Amino acid sequence: MILQNYKWPRPMGFTPFEHQKVTADFLVNNGRAFCFNEQGTGKTASVIWAADYLISAKIIKRVLVICPLSIMQSAWQNDLFKFAVHRTVDVAYGSTDKRNKIVNGSAEFVIINYDGITSIAESALGKFDLIVIDEANAYKNVQTKRWKTMRKLVTPNTWVWMLTGTPAAQSPVDAYGLAKLCVPHSAPRFFGDYRESVMQKISMYKWIPRPDSNTTVFNLLQPAIRYEKSQCLDLPEKMFISRHAPLTSQQEKYYKELKTKLLMEAAGEEISSINAASKMSKLLQISCGSVYSDSGAVIDFDVSTRLNAIEEVIDEASHKVLIFVPFRHTIELLSAHLKKAGIETEEIHGDVPVRKRTEIFKQFQEGSRLKALVIQPQAAAHGVTLTAADTIVWYAPVTSTETYLQANARIDRPGQKNAMTIVHIEGSPIERKLYAMLQNNINNHEKIVELYKKELEGT
């Protein structure tokens, strides 16, 4: 094996887990490969070590990482700074000119989001020896502009590693797009031929998977490696992950306007903890996408980046998901988005009768229909067991540590069989600071006031 005598790096005392070593070794030995390790198993670190080795061995020179916007910095850039500090890294985000400049620059690792690559595809041609596609299900449809752009970038000599914890999770036909990009020699020439091999037509508009479709998909998506969290005994029982969902331009505008207004109101006045929490709630509402005016009306904002981040987490989750949303109207907004995307979900909030809540919880725990629950934290923070999920997503933070801890405990109860993942979605400075307080169990009035003052002052 190429990595047999490779000295694994140990930055800041970090020692790679065995499954990460094996994954990196597998990738180095396969120029075209799939990594289907579950979310939270550290596959980004494995990719970084494998790519670092290939650069050191002068097999490749530059790496292009294509991933969701929400993890460009929070996952990929941060992990590169941690595990390959000696390598040059740049994030191609912003204007087309800025992205082109970075792609044409000298950074050994360039990180870009799915939609960003379409505008600079011509510049990227021939610039990268290895292309890493994270959460690769985004390239399952060969008819999309995104897929066609990527097909131009992948030459016969390009190394390609495709990462996803849930290959062909919705349908066996989803595997076709992945295979045609990564291992085109293994895929049928035409999509119709492949569909016939894995699906059976039972009516004019309805197809169902053939009994042997899983075997066909397995054989198509090779070479591949997969580790589940349950197999990684060295993983912590609970992991915390951040996903960045930048405020849209509309949100950014009103967020700044509200901060200016609140700063003027606070000038020369003593701020109470109750008042600070109330004012912070307004800033959080803008981050979430719906603001309640003084008259009680609801003003909706463009919050597409946050909705996309939530959908990405659900797509990558191998088991069920709980999504905690602090504000009532935002629950409706998110729930409608998920249902439109074909994700089976139900809502839990203060207006849902106790009997119906009980029925929904039972369906979630025992049935197979529901993939996610969208919950107002206070409506399910105590006494409910929801161990059918192993992933919790915080759409936005709450200001109460007790509510945060109790909500997280819904999956951390007897009956939980999997390692758990808590995902923090953040797009504004105040959210990052609140999550840090919640994780560190800081829950006192002075800290709330201090946090509010710092946010208004921009420190």
What are the tens digits of pLDDT across the range 369-425? 999 999 999 887 667 889 999 999 999 998 888 889 889 999 988 888 888 999 999
Helix residue ranges, H only, 323-441: 328-340, 354-366, 401-408, 429-439
The verdict on residue 256 lying in a domain is no
CATH of residue 452: 3.40.50.300
Helix residue ranges, H only, 38-120: 43-56, 78-83, 96-103, 114-119
Predicted local confidence at residue 13, as pLDDT: 40
Q: Are the beta carbons of 374 and 323 closer than 8 angstroms? A: yes
Say if residue 47 is in the same domain as residue 117.
Answer: yes
| Domain extent at residue 57 | 11-231
Say if residue 452 is in the same domain as residue 327.
Answer: yes
Say if residue 147 is in the same domain as residue 225.
Answer: yes
Say if residue 139 is in the same domain as residue 185.
Answer: yes
The model's pLDDT over 384-395, given as tens digits with 9 standing for 90+, comes to 889 999 999 999
Domain end call among 231, 258, 291: 231
Query: How far is residue 92's CA from residue 226's CA, in Å, rounded to a whole number?
Result: 29
The verdict on residue 293 lying in a domain is no
Q: Which of the two residues, 272 and 117, has the higher pLDDT score?
A: 117
Say if residue 59 is in the same domain as residue 156.
Answer: yes
Q: Which residues of 77-88 are buried (b: 16+ CB within 10 A; e: fewer)?
A: bebbeebbeebe
The verdict on residue 294 lying in a domain is no
The verdict on residue 213 lying in a domain is yes
As for how many domains the chain has, the answer is 2
Query: How far is residue 105's CA from residue 80's CA, in Å, rounded to a whole number?
Result: 18
CATH of residue 174: 3.40.50.10810
Q: Which neighbouring-strand residues pair with 146?
A: none
Using pLDDT thresholds of 50, 70 and 90, give the confidence band for residue 294: low
For residue 322, count other CB atoms closer than 10 A to its CB: 26
The verdict on residue 257 lying in a domain is no
Say if residue 211 is in the same domain as residue 242.
Answer: no
The model's pLDDT over 68-115, given as tens digits with 9 standing for 90+, comes to 999 998 889 999 999 999 999 999 998 999 999 999 999 999 999 998
Say if residue 242 is in the same domain as residue 211.
Answer: no
Pick the closest to residue 43 from 3, 73, 70, 83 (CA basis): 83
